[in-house]
């Protein structure tokens, strides 16, 4: 660079001029504008400058100081303080320059995978009290004429007045747990499990106060229980190996049965070379019953012999903003900080029921013209054995008292008089959903134990949150169709049994949250990964969080199970609340800058 010679005298002159000028710095309102400064042997020299406030006395080598507080308007923290001097240092590592200072924020972020486990449903699917079971309603009918099958009724009741044994000499009675369209408990679904993500980010000040922002999402992962496919329901021992049809799978007995029942010719439909009696007795299962209030004194239980399925799912997402105050406990390796937060949390739960029925009623009567007994479906006790050695386990429409009833007979109307078509096959379903919006302030504590390289930390929070909840249900065909409780479609209304209902409520819900986490710089010690700056500077985080919220509407318990459309009785919303909890297991990576 070329320096102009004429700049030298000009700069020298400016230095001489500036020596004769007064310089002021940090002028504080109310302070003196001059002070006496004794400089060595030069004597006392009056140097105008922003002096000290009134009341400052004493001195050292001519400097005037006072043992008093700062004047009005002075703001010594955090820029000017004798207790925390400014510190700044630059250093090089791995070819990169870094800076350490105690007067800047420390920014951080973590990205976690979370495994969510939340409270599942519980209680009976259907009306839980005040409704008679299927056994209560139909075992007296089975015991008396015209059925007169006291032996089967006794076995279902768990008694053995006739000292019965099955075909291989095993005691077949005295088991009160024998299913006969028993009620299904929704707790069979268990806890709801799903996957999700959590993102946290924020900063800490030099005094360890700071801000944290958190976003969380947990996906909806339905949990399904099908009585037919997941329970040890009676199976068949028939051999299908020699059957072959173009375009049809002969092993799909249910599809064949539905084709027969929906055909104008009914039981006279040709299914050769299959045997229709085998199809019926194999396909119709003693599954579960749905208890409902049908307008009668004792209610009724609706049987389903083709399918009984329940499903539950939950979805969560939310956001939390937290401010951490300066520590109330600051010791070596230990910080305890109060915190205040604002939370929004959204919980969506769904409960679904689906049942399918053949529309048949059946008993052990094989005389043409025997009366149809509404709602009756006769099954043997479900002992899982082929008592009558006909190749079919637990034949529908047969008590399996002995003899081979099935297989190979020609199709005729008399043979199937024990199976009577009450209605066409139908599907009943009900979907219930609750959507809960929670928002409000939180208070709590955060505690850190350890160092930046390895530490445990946790948070404890409590809150009282505003809760806006919506409960919806919708469905179709909730009624005992084989007893005539469903309405028939008309040209103007193809779905007369369809229904829907909704309720909205506002209230408050208490909340408690506890989280425990571990942060460790593990990747710094892992070969190869520690050569990648993204991992070398990352913290591995592992943690567990539990959240408990009170007064939460649950979908499976917010249903009033009315079921008799012919009398104008349809299911309705009846909001029911209880405590709900969820747990998060998380692991992920975090960075600090």
Region 33-39: mean pLDDT is 47
CB 537 within 8 A of CB 529: no
* Angstrom distance (rounded) from CA 373 to CA 482: 9
| Alpha-carbon dihedral sign for residues 150, 156, 161, 165 | positive
> What phi, psi does 169 have (nearest 5°)?
85, 5
Long-range contacts of 75-78 (CB under 8 A, 24+ apart): 78/103, 78/206, 78/207
- Considering only residues 250 and 182, tell me which one the structure prediction assigns the higher pLDDT: 182
Per-residue pLDDT of 422-460, as tens digits, reads 899 999 999 999 999 999 999 999 999 998 888 999 999
Give me the phi and psi of 585, to 5 degrees please.
-100, 125
pLDDT of 412 reads 31
Predicted local confidence at residue 148, as pLDDT = 74
Q: By percentage, how much of the chain surpasses pLDDT 70?
A: 74
Q: Answer whether residue 62 shows pLDDT above 50.
A: no
Dihedral of alpha carbons 396, 399, 404, 410, sign: negative
Give the residue among 495, 508, 479, 475 at the shortest CA–CA distance from 577: 508
User: What is the per-residue pLDDT for 4?
Assistant: 66
Taking residue 430's Cβ as centre, other Cβ atoms within 10 Å add up to 24
Q: How far apart, in whole angstroms, are the C-alpha atoms of residue 399 and residue 281?
A: 11
The answer on pLDDT for 249 being more than 70 is no
Q: DSSP readout, 126-143?
A: S--SS---HHHHHHHHHH
Show Cβ contacts of residue 225 under 8 Å, excluding neighbours closer than 6 positions.
Answer: 184, 188, 189, 309, 310, 311
**Rounded Cα–Cα distance for residues 353 and 184 (Å):** 11
| Nearest residue to 327 (alpha-carbon basis) of 448, 212, 442, 213 | 448
Per-residue pLDDT for 523 more than 80?
Answer: no
- CA nearest 302: which of 475, 182, 467? 182
pLDDT of residue 142: 82
What average pLDDT does the segment 377-383 reach? Answer: 81
Residue 235 has pLDDT above 50, yes or no: no
Q: What is the rounded CA–CA span in Å between residue 222 and residue 429?
A: 16
Tokens of 149: 């099958």
**What is the average pLDDT across 524-543?**
79
Euclidean distance between CA atoms 354 and 336, whole angstroms:
52
**275-304: average pLDDT:** 89
Residue corresponding to tokens 């109330």? 328
Question: How far is it, in rounded angstroms, from Cα 361 to Cα 378?
Answer: 8
Mean confidence (pLDDT) of the chain: 79
Q: What pLDDT is stored for residue 230 in this prediction?
A: 67
- The per-residue pLDDT for 82 is 52
Q: 588 vs 265, which has greater pLDDT?
A: 588
Q: Which two tokens stand for residue 427?
A: 């599907």
Query: Which residue blocks in 190-317 are alpha helix, DSSP H?
Result: 227-230, 253-261, 276-283
Which residues are CB-neighbours of 532 under 8 A, at least 6 positions away?
none
Q: What are phi and psi of 580, to 5 degrees?
A: -130, 145
Return the ∠ at Cα 290 (arms to 426 and 125), rounded to 5°: 120
Write the DSSP symbol of residue 481. Answer: G
**Each residue's pLDDT tens digit, 327-338:** 999 988 899 999
Q: What is residue 416's predicted lDDT score, i.e. its pLDDT? A: 54
For the cut 50, the answer to whether the pLDDT of residue 415 exceeds it is: no
Q: What H or E segment, with its residue span, contains residue 151? A: helix 150-157
Q: Is the pLDDT confidence value at 400 over 70?
A: no
Lowest-confidence segment of 79-93, 101-115, 289-303, 510-524 by average pLDDT:
79-93
pLDDT at residue number 571: 97
Secondary structure, 3-state, 363-421: CCCCCCCCCCCCCCECCCCCCCCCCCCCCECCCCCCCCCCCCCCCCCCCCCCCCCCEEE
């Amino acid at each position: 660079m070329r320096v102009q010679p004429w700049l030298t005298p000009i700069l020298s002159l400016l230095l001489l001029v500036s020596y004769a000028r007064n310089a002021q710095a940090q002028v504080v309102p109310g302070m003196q504008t001059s002070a006496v400064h004794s400089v060595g042997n030069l004597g006392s020299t009056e140097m105008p400058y922003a002096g000290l406030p009134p009341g400052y006395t004493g001195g050292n080598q001519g400097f005037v100081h006072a043992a008093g507080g700062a004047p009005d308007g002075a703001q010594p923290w955090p820029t000017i303080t004798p207790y925390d001097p400014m510190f700044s240092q630059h250093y090089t590592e791995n070819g990169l320059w870094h800076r350490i200072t105690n007067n800047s924020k420390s920014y951080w972020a973590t990205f976690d995978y979370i495994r969510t486990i939340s409270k599942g449903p519980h209680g009976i699917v259907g009306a839980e009290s005040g409704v008679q079971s299927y056994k209560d309603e139909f075992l007296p009918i089975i015991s008396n004429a015209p059925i007169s099958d006291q032996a089967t009724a006794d076995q279902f009741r768990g008694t053995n007045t006739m000292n019965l044994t099955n075909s291989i000499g095993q005691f077949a009675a005295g088991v009160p747990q024998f299913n006969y369209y028993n009620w299904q408990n929704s707790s069979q679904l268990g806890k709801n499990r799903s996957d999700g993500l959590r993102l946290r980010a924020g900063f800490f000040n030099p005094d360890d106060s700071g801000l944290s922002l958190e976003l969380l999402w947990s996906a909806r992962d339905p949990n399904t229980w099908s009585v037919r496919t997941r329970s040890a329901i009676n199976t068949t021992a028939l051999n299908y190996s020699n059957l072959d049809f173009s375009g049809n799978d002969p092993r799909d007995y249910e599809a064949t049965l539905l084709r027969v029942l929906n055909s104008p010719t009914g039981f006279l439909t040709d299914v050769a070379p299959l045997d229709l009696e085998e199809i019926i007795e194999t396909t119709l299962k003693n599954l579960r019953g749905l208890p409902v209030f049908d307008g009668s004194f004792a209610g009724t239980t609706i049987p389903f012999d083709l399918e009984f399925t329940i499903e539950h799912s939950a979805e969560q997402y939310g956001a939390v903003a937290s401010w951490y105050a300066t520590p109330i406990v600051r010791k070596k390796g230990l910080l305890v900080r109060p915190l205040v937060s604002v939370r929004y949390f959204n919980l969506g739960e769904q409960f679904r029921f689906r049942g399918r029925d053949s529309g048949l009623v059946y008993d052990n009567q094989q005389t043409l013209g025997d009366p149809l007994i509404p709602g009756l479906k006769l099954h043997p006790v479900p002992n899982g054995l082929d008592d009558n050695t006909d190749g079919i386990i637990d034949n529908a429409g047969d008590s399996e008292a002995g003899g081979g009833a099935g297989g190979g007979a020609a199709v005729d109307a008399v043979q199937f008089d024990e199976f009577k078509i009450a209605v066409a096959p139908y599907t009943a379903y009900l979907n219930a959903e609750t959507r809960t919006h929670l928002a409000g302030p939180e208070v709590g504590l955060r505690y850190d134990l350890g160092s930046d390289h390895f530490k445990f930390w946790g948070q404890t929070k409590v809150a009282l949150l505003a809760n806006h909840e919506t409960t919806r249900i919708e469905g179709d065909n909730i009624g005992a169709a084989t007893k005539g409780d469903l309405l028939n479609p008309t040209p103007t209304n193809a779905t007369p049994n369809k229904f829907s209902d909704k309720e909205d409520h506002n209230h408050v819900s208490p909340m408690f949250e506890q989280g425990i986490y571990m942060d460790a710089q593990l990747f710094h010690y892992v070969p190869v990964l520690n050569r990648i700056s993204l991992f070398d500077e990352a913290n591995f985080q592992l943690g567990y969080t539990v959240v408990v919220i009170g007064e939460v509407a649950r979908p499976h318990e917010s249903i009033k199970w009315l079921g008799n459309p012919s009398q104008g009785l349809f299911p309705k919303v009846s909001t029911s609340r209880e405590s709900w909890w969820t747990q998060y297991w998380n692991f992920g990576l975090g960075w600090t800058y």
